[in-house]
Structure 1
Amino acid sequence: MALSIPKVVHQWTVGDGEGFDALQYSEQPLPELGDSQVLVKCDLLLKYRDLMIAQGKSIHPVAPNVIPGSDGAGTVVAVGKHVRRFTPGDRVVTAFFQDYVGGPFQLSAAISALGGALDGTLRTYGAFNEQGLVRIPSILSSLEASTLTCAGVTAWSALFGLSDYRVSAGKWVLTQGTGGVSVFALQFAKAVGARVVATTSSSDKIDFLKGLGADHVINYKEDAEWGTTAKALTGGSGFDHIVEVSGPVSMRQSLKAVAIGGVINIVGYLGGSSGDQPSFSDCFQHRCIVRPIAVESRIVLEELCRAIEANPEKLRPVVDSKVFRLDQLKEACEYQWLGKHKGKVCVEIS
């Protein structure tokens, strides 16, 4: 398929400034395509990491003047002369770690993280190594597919990444909020017949969560001891899997809710990186597995794509109804930062 190759690219970079004013929009010449690179016309989404990088608050190293954005999908426009995995016209989604193909996570993979160590997806066209891309499930749009890079893969790894602790029918799963990872985890858990309790800070989002299949929803703003309340819903046995997205501010309640031998999957710190942090003895007392997740490999992303292809009705990504243009990036950041979204916040590039 012959596709036109542009001469310029419109992009955002992180420069000097306070908050989201550090984001700078510009037009630049399209760089020369490398022999092993694939040029992709991008659509993308935002996630919490992108917002922290844009504000200069990332806990991980960030390259100077980096193009942010790790989640993206789109259409292949051109390929380098050594590329064998893709041809122009293919629809692809980015892998978060461009050099992490498979196997146990190695710290060396961190230097290939898109949107932080490497230039990311907040641009009209991007050149990516062919090893850092995966074909999109045919039933998904590019915007839907862009949700898989981090949120989808992280939720998949949380529930199915430990071979001896995979979620299955009848198991109890606890999710937190209506962000991307939590919504995916709810969908994945219900698809295999698990029972799910979801939490939210807004009564307006209860029906949304129940519509996705949540068996029970707890407003944690109205119930400070929501961990104890949630555990009671399991008959006192506790949760086999908890997807912990809020960090120190909620970890103590997660420990109260977890089953003996259950798994608390630490995904992030949406509630902040400081707070009432449980001690080693607290974790020991509850006899659970506490497992940090650093996204996952390209092979796991491919596994997730195959699962979605086979179960589109149950596993279609949830995209927020409000979609932004690339030049509306700052508005999109504010929208997500204020927690107005349900599902993933997407930026459409056309």
Structure 2
Amino acid sequence: MKAYVLQGGFGLDHIAEVDRPIPTPGRGEVLIRMKAVSLNARDIGVIDGFYNPELKEPLIPVSDGVGEIVALGENAGRFRMGERVSAIFTQSWKSGEATQENWVTTLGSPLQGLLAEYVVLPEEGLVRVPQHLSDVEAATLPCAGVTAWHAIVEEGKVKAGDTVVVQGTGGVSLFALQFAKLQGAKVIVTSSSNEKLARARGLGADYGINYKETAEWDKAILEHTQGKGADHIVDLGGGATLNRSISALKVGGQISIVGILSGASVEGLAIVPAILRRARLQAINVGSRAMFENMNVAIEHHRLYPVIDSEYPFSQAVKALSHLAEGSYFGKIVIRY
């Protein structure tokens, strides 16, 4: 089989296509013929050595995908041959609260990822995918979908009439927009592109703010909400956005800290405004298998479709990763097999 591996250093220049034997499933495992994988900002962080400068090589990158079960190992009985499945991002996190031990079982680092024609995984780390979704659409769910579901529904408990702010128009942001609208919320989207804001409104966004044109976007949110502030903010920017997110929050509101696109630390964290707003800051690290399964029920019931930015064939995987690194996407970038 063919696979892509990171070896000999960090960066996209060190991603190479290799030939490997098709793996054999062991006890409680299944063999999956991959159909599609989707990309996340984390994938570039892994490839560039940001997350783990001591990364063991060679590593198959990419954590999200969908495939068909083509062989069952001994005592594997949760799934049937031919079923479509996706792997959960944190393989050992089945339900409940995560533990420190869970973080060493994430796909695409430190565990081997899915950018290969075949993979073997424990059946306990898999879920069935919604039947109405194509392979390309289903591949987008494990990280971006579950992260947004965790933030909006599981932790955020967003309800009808709430005002939700989502930053940007990547995969997590657009899933958060869609899930918030399912709950009956009003959604404000921020972006540096008026064209992307228009597309977000086409997905149901109620209001858009171009943060390049309106640098004090927190004040724009306060003005739009008649000074009340947002009930919930999905913060993907991190270092450069968290203080403004606190400023734009209503008293008793919640911020879901999801991303670090503008930096992993915040200088001069606005502690007093956070206290005055009784701000609840909840970090979100994808989610459990139970969350994934709950989300899939909602997606299937509402016939929701993920937003796809672009598709690449498996032979152009490095080109797809380069597109991801550019940061100009709207929705999810997917590699199909």
TM-score (norm. length: structure 2): 0.96
Instruction: Give the Å deviation of 1:275.
Output: 5.4
Match of 2:319 among 331, 335, 345: 331
Match of 1:340 among 325, 328, 336: 328
How far apart, CA to CA, are the structure 1 residues paired with 2:266 and 2:91?
33
Determine the structure 1 residue equivalent to 2:305. 316
1:198 has 2:166 as partner: no
Which consecutive aligned stretches of 4+ in structure 1 deviate over 3 angstroms post-superposition?
59-63, 274-277, 279-282
Is the 8 Å Cα contact of residues 78 and 87 (structure 1) preserved in structure 2? no
Give the secondary structure class of the aligned counterpart of 1:33.
coil
1:266 has 2:254 as partner: no
Aligned partner letter, 1:29: P
**Percent of pairs identical after alignment?**
39
1:124 has 2:117 as partner: yes
1:35 has 2:27 as partner: yes
- Number of residue-to-residue matches in the alignment: 336
The C-alpha deviation readout for 1:284-335, integer Å capped at 9, x for no partner, is 23311000011110011000011111000xx211111x21122212211121
Give the secondary structure class of the aligned counterpart of 2:256.
strand
Written as runs of structure 1 = structure 2, the 5 A alignment for 1:234-273 is 234-273=225-264
How far apart, CA to CA, are the structure 2 residues paired with 1:282 and 1:237?
14
How far apart, CA to CA, are the structure 2 residues paired with 1:75 and 1:328?
22
How far apart, CA to CA, are the structure 1 residues paired with 2:308 and 2:302?
17
Instruction: Give the Å deviation of 1:61.
Output: 6.7
How far apart, CA to CA, are the structure 2 residues paired with 1:60 and 1:178?
29
Instruction: Give the Å deviation of 1:277.
Output: 4.8
Is the 8 Å Cα contact of residues 71 and 121 (structure 1) preserved in structure 2? yes
RMSD in angstroms over aligned alpha carbons?
A: 1.5
Instruction: Give the Å deviation of 1:266.
Output: 0.3
Determine the structure 1 residue equivalent to 2:8. 16
Instruction: Give the Å deviation of 1:121.
Output: 0.7
How far apart, CA to CA, are the structure 1 residues paired with 2:142 and 2:99?
18
Written as runs of structure 1 = structure 2, the 5 A alignment for 1:99-178 is 99-162=92-155, 165-178=156-169
How far apart, CA to CA, are the structure 2 residues paired with 1:15 and 1:286?
48
Is the 8 Å Cα contact of residues 4 and 15 (structure 2) preserved in structure 1? yes
How far apart, CA to CA, are the structure 2 residues paired with 1:63 and 1:17?
10
1:81 has 2:70 as partner: no
Moved more, 296-305 or 22-31: 22-31
How far apart, CA to CA, are the structure 2 residues paired with 1:18 and 1:191?
41
5+ residue gaps, structure 1: 1-8
Give the secondary structure class of the aligned counterpart of 2:281.
strand
Determine the structure 2 residue equivalent to 1:292. 283
Instruction: Give the Å deviation of 1:155.
Output: 0.5
Instruction: Give the Å deviation of 1:19.
Output: 2.4
Give the secondary structure class of the aligned counterpart of 2:241.
helix
Is the 8 Å Cα contact of residues 244 and 268 (structure 1) preserved in structure 2? yes
Instruction: Describe the shift of the 1:297–1:18 C-alpha distance in structure 2 as closer, same or farther (beyond 3 A).
Output: closer
Determine the structure 2 residue equivalent to 1:6. none
Instruction: Describe the shift of the 1:277–1:88 C-alpha distance in structure 2 as closer, same or farther (beyond 3 A).
Output: farther
Instruction: Describe the shift of the 1:16–1:231 C-alpha distance in structure 2 as closer, same or farther (beyond 3 A).
Output: farther
5+ residue gaps, structure 2: none
1:180 has 2:168 as partner: no
Instruction: Give the Å deviation of 1:59.
Output: 5.3
How far apart, CA to CA, are the structure 2 residues paired with 1:159 and 1:278?
24
How far apart, CA to CA, are the structure 2 residues paired with 1:84 and 1:18?
39
Give the secondary structure class of the aligned counterpart of 1:249.
coil
How far apart, CA to CA, are the structure 1 residues paired with 2:126 and 2:152?
23
Give the secondary structure class of the aligned counterpart of 1:44.
strand
Give the secondary structure class of the aligned counterpart of 1:196.
strand
How far apart, CA to CA, are the structure 1 residues paired with 2:107 and 2:262?
23
Determine the structure 2 residue equivalent to 1:218. 209
The C-alpha deviation readout for 1:112-133, integer Å capped at 9, x for no partner, is 1000011111111111110110
TM-score (norm. length: structure 1): 0.92
Is the 8 Å Cα contact of residues 63 and 118 (structure 1) preserved in structure 2? no
Is the 8 Å Cα contact of residues 158 and 185 (structure 2) preserved in structure 1? yes
How far apart, CA to CA, are the structure 2 residues paired with 1:75 and 1:60?
33
